[in-house]
Amino acid sequence: MHVFDSEYFAFWMGVKCLFRYQDRATHQYICYRMLQTRKEEVSEYFPQLFHLMLLEDGASPWNRPIFRLLYKVSLQERHFAQVLGMYALSLTDSFQSGDRRHVLCVEIAEIMALPKRENAPKRKQRNTKKITMYLRYLRMTHGTKVGRSPSTEKMLIQQKAFYMLPMCSPRRKERRGGSLESLLVAMLSGVASVFGTEHHAFLSDILETSDAYLLKKKYRTKTALRRSTQLLSETSKESEFISKINAISNSLILVQRPLREQTLSTELNLMNLYLPENICLPLMCRGGHRSLLRVSSSFCKVLDSAARAPFLLIFETAKEKDTVQEVFLSPSPHFTESSEEKRGGGGGRSEKETVLRTAIKILGGLKELDSNSHVDLDILAIKTRVMKKIYEMHAPLPPAQSRAKKHAEEWREVKSQIRESSPYKSLPEWKVQSVIVKTGSDMKQEQLATQILRVIRKIWEAEKTRISIQTYEVVITGRSSGLIETITGARSIHQIKKVMKERGKEQSLALYFDEEWEGGAEDAKEQFFRSLVGCSIVSYILQIKDRHNGNILIDSKGRMVHIDFGFVLGAHPGFYSVESAPFKFSVEYAEVVGPERMGKFREEFLRGFLALRKNMDHIVTLVESISLNNTIPMVTISAAEALRDRFEPGMTEEEFIEHTSGLVTKAMRNVFTGIYDSFQYYTQGYCR
């Protein structure tokens, strides 16, 4: 246990111990030490902690030490309660309605809906002070080497506060266990004190924690899940905004493809009438919380998808203020209806605000009519005309077309055009941000894959390798929805080749690099080479499949970026996997980096792989701790074992060097890579 006090302790080691040791006492101590020393890392590893919490004993979440850890952090971090509640909702579909874990997830979602209220069960404090069996034992041994010292007493008080236990024992009739168990706990703690581990004072009231709270029957009802979902969608302005954009994405599915862009613009312009507001999305607040000012509807677009309708959301933000309306330059209704009604009582409203309110009522009626039937062209045309008129009064529309000639300059051009037309550009730390709104998909696997990529990037940075990998974040916002961080200035290889074909040029990546970066092509090719090595290693370790040119991007600096991790850890599309290569390596990649860099590919591949092999326990733990509940179809115990086997822990270093060299050779000579690209070209239209 001394490792938790040392400088070598890492958070993932605590997760590994929680996975390996299932007894409550160990979990209590580890969670307590995590809160004391690594509290800021809880939000990064919360998926693993949540799955391990489901395996703990206890009828209610309040009995479980890991939940108490998560709850404590949710009270201190603004977005964590919402993220945790949404994640709990996303897991409910993985279990049957009568399953104990399903009931637990529903209860946690409802608790997280109102984290600042008194959700934790309380016990009445009595004036008559009674000591527990453990405190009586400490008094008996006072003055001896196993007696109570000031540091031990202080530690006991802190741990009781952490687990929200009373400082005195409850009434005797409330105790469900016999005194024998309390005596055994006291004896164990005394033995631990003899050997110098005074931090084991947390053993004092294990019995009180184990059966103090009972499972509430209301979470077993049929409407419990619906109630928890509704509470989470109404708990804050951020939740209401996320619910609205998810509803927009779902409504676009019913719209014909040619009309989706027009429908999206109309809906987002309607949403702009309720902005600006103190809305800070989880992906927005790096470096401080921010306020959502306006959605740039002219630049938002619906993305290609066979069955769903995800869309790119571009918006303006500024540094958050206590009172948002004091810094806004143009008046507009609040986002929430309750605040709008409060402001509606004033008698001196301007003509502009009156028109906006009337338009909102008209569009609201059209929206209700639209929701009760399929989208009709006449209704959509009316909404579009009304929106065009009133939104010209609200804010000028930015130019619709980009003047950028190179795709690396497109994002800078978009920000420039938005700034030109923005009435908020003078606000502190004004900036343009973007996310992808996606519904109808299970985002837990995507979230796990991106989490592993972030861990791999940190390992390579710590080992000071030259390999790079671009990562992004995924936030689950519902049972089948999420927000995906965008990689600005990036374009898929499919899009690149499609544009080159339209311009009558050869569809060559080497030619694209020479034209796109001109004098800086060598620097871009160097960045491409480093990221190519990183993507190759990650693709083999995680067995990432479905690697067509629509899922591989080139960013504004020339780096390769992989997206869409729908098939990982051995899963593949279809009944037979055509992608038999260890990782995708096209002949075009070698043409881009050149023969000199290609001579270093094996060396860099080996160096990066060895760095990950040293830290394989860290990577495997992320998968192992989630695999036990079978909540993600592709993340199983066998998949975790296969992941460890790919690091070849039984090989010597010489054998491992030969093994990695064989992997590179097999990937470069595999003919099925080109066959799969051709298959995607003829079936889905992705450029080869």
Summarize pLDDT for 639-684 with one digit per residue, the tens. 999 999 999 999 998 999 999 999 999 988 888 888 888 888 888 7
Q: Give pLDDT, residue 270.
A: 81
Q: Which two tokens stand for residue 28?
A: 């209590």
**625 to each of 13, 25, 69, how far by Cα in Å?**
12, 19, 17
Sign of CA dihedral 363, 365, 371, 375: negative
**pLDDT in the model for residue 191:** 56
Q: Which of 285-299, 369-383, 670-684 has the lowest mean pLDDT?
A: 369-383
For residue 405, which phi and psi values (nearest 5 degrees)? -95, -25
Chain segment 533-554, per-residue pLDDT in tens: 999 999 999 999 888 888 899 9
Q: pLDDT band for 160, please (50, 70, 90 cuts).
A: low
Average pLDDT for 108-119: 70
Q: Where do the domains of the chain lie, and which CATH numbers do they carry? A: 2-113 (1.25.40), 133-210 (no CATH), 256-437 (no CATH), 488-684 (1.10.1070.11)
pLDDT, mean of residues 571-575: 75
Measuring CA to CA, which residue among 467, 406, 416 is closest to residue 609?
467
Q: What pLDDT, on the 0 to 100 scale, is given for residue 123?
A: 47
pLDDT at 686: 83
Distance CA 395, CA 392 (A): 6
pLDDT band per the 50, 70, 90 thresholds, residue 204: very low
Q: Kindly state the average pLDDT of the residues 236-248.
A: 88
User: For position 392, what pLDDT does the model report?
Assistant: 52
Length of the chain: 688
Q: Work out the average pLDDT over 495-516.
A: 86
pLDDT at 185 over 60: no
Indicate the range of 237-241, 245-249, 297-301, 518-522 predicted with least confidence.
518-522
pLDDT at 656: 92
Q: What per-residue confidence (pLDDT) applies to 171?
A: 45
Q: Is the pLDDT of residue 146 over 60?
A: no
Q: Whose structure tokens read 């470069």? A: 668
Residue 474 contacts residue 482 (beta carbons within 8 Å): yes
pLDDT at residue 551 in the model: 86
Tell me: pLDDT of 459 over 90.
yes
pLDDT number for residue 508: 86
pLDDT at 221: 55
Percent of the chain topping pLDDT 90: 17
Q: What is the pLDDT of residue 277?
A: 84
Read out DSSP for 149-211?
-HHHHHHHHHHHHHTT--SS---GGG--S-HHHHHHHHHHHHHHHHTT-GGGGGGGGHHHHHT
pLDDT of res. 189: 55
Asked if 182 contacts 196 with a C-beta cutoff of 8 angstroms, the reply is: no
pLDDT at 28 exceeding the cut of 60: yes
C-beta separation of 95 from 109 below 8 A: no
Q: How far apart are CA 549 and CA 250, in angstroms?
A: 27
The predicted-structure confidence for 475-498, as pLDDT tens digits, reads as follows: 998 888 899 998 888 888 888 888
Better pLDDT: 211 or 655: 655
Mean pLDDT of 197-213: 41
Determine the average pLDDT of the residues in 270-290.
81
User: How far is Cα 201 from Cα 68, in angstroms, rounded to an integer?
Assistant: 18
Taking a C-beta distance cutoff of 8 angstroms, is the pair 273, 332 a contact?
Answer: yes
**pLDDT class of 235 with cuts at 50, 70, 90:** confident
Tell me how far CA of residue 438 lies from CA of 183, 295, 312, 485, in angstroms.
55, 17, 9, 11
**Which range, 155-164, 191-200, 237-246, has the best average confidence (pLDDT)?**
237-246
